[in-house]
Amino acid sequence: MRMAVDLTTLDYGVIARDEARRNRENRGVFVLMMVLSIVWLAPFYYLIVSVLKSPAEYVASHPLALPSGIMPLFANVTDAWVEARMGFGVLNSLLYGVVGAGVAVFIAIMAAHGLARYRFSGRTFWFMLIFAGTIFPFQMYLIPLFFTYLELGLLDTRIGMILFYTAICIPFPVLVMRNYLTQMSSEMDEAARMDGCSEFRLFFSIILPNCKGPFIALFLLQFTWIWNDLIFSTVLTQRVEVRSVMSTLQVFQGAYADVSQTVVMAASLLASLPTILLFFVLRRHFMQGLQVSSG
């Protein structure tokens, strides 16, 4: 009996020590995450306090000092919208991102459906050919793409930018969707065919609705890449009416070096807001899509 009591006491002591060790580890992780969060949020704090200051207040006060009010925000945003012509950049990037990413992911789902659900000779070759688009650095496409667009008359046009972004955003979603559709049961396909369902209706009524989560996740990832692209937009566009938001912001910072820092920060805020808002709107579907895709 005494031995049993001693063992029980020993077990409780081991459990208590393990619990204390886990608590210390959890506190350490919490502190580390708090420090990383502060470091990550510090630039956003500088952006917000700068946008809320007038040019005179920004020069007179410390850059990290709190603003005296919020009224300068409207003047800074208006100046950035008018002087930097951010309206063209925002609308163009929205067009390129929504159409380019949406069409690219849709085409990728169709290609992945054929590669994952149909048996035909050379499907591995076709998959590797499409996937090769993600292997090479994108910068190697710049020179041949520039001269090809120059010959075809697509340089410095919206349709040229949409075609480029659509094409370059297809390979990665094909890889993700092929893996996802390979794991999806094929019994639904067989049952639908037995009921007389055509291949087109099978895709649009069964496959596509079941890809909603990965579709949204991939759309958001590709949209963010298109929105943040600078190098291709700078090379392939010259007119203000065609430039993307990042290219417009770069030109504004270079052409108006004497402009107030508050106006530049306001332009940067305008360039950042759409992707942040889109993520918050689609965050639930985005997380579900990531879980489905990884599963």
Helix, coil or strand: residue 119: coil
Nearest Cα residue to 181 out of 207, 162, 149, 142: 207
Q: Comparing C-alpha atoms, which of 251, 253, 225, 223 is closest to residue 237?
A: 251
Query: Of residues 83 and 153, which shows the higher confidence score?
Result: 153
**Residues present in the chain in total:** 295
The pTM for the full model equals 0.81
Q: Give domain 75-294's CATH superfamily.
A: MetI-like (1.10.3720.10)
Model confidence at 1, pLDDT cuts 50, 70, 90, reads very low
Maximum average pLDDT range among 5-9, 117-121, 208-212: 208-212
Is 211 in contact with 282 (CB distance < 8 Å)?
no
Closest C-alpha among 149, 173, 151 to residue 242:
149
What are the extents of the domains in the chain? 2-51, 75-294
% of the chain beyond a pLDDT of 90? 25
Tens of pLDDT, residue by residue over 145-168, are 999 999 999 999 999 999 999 999
Where residue 276 falls among pLDDT bands split at 50, 70, 90?
A: confident
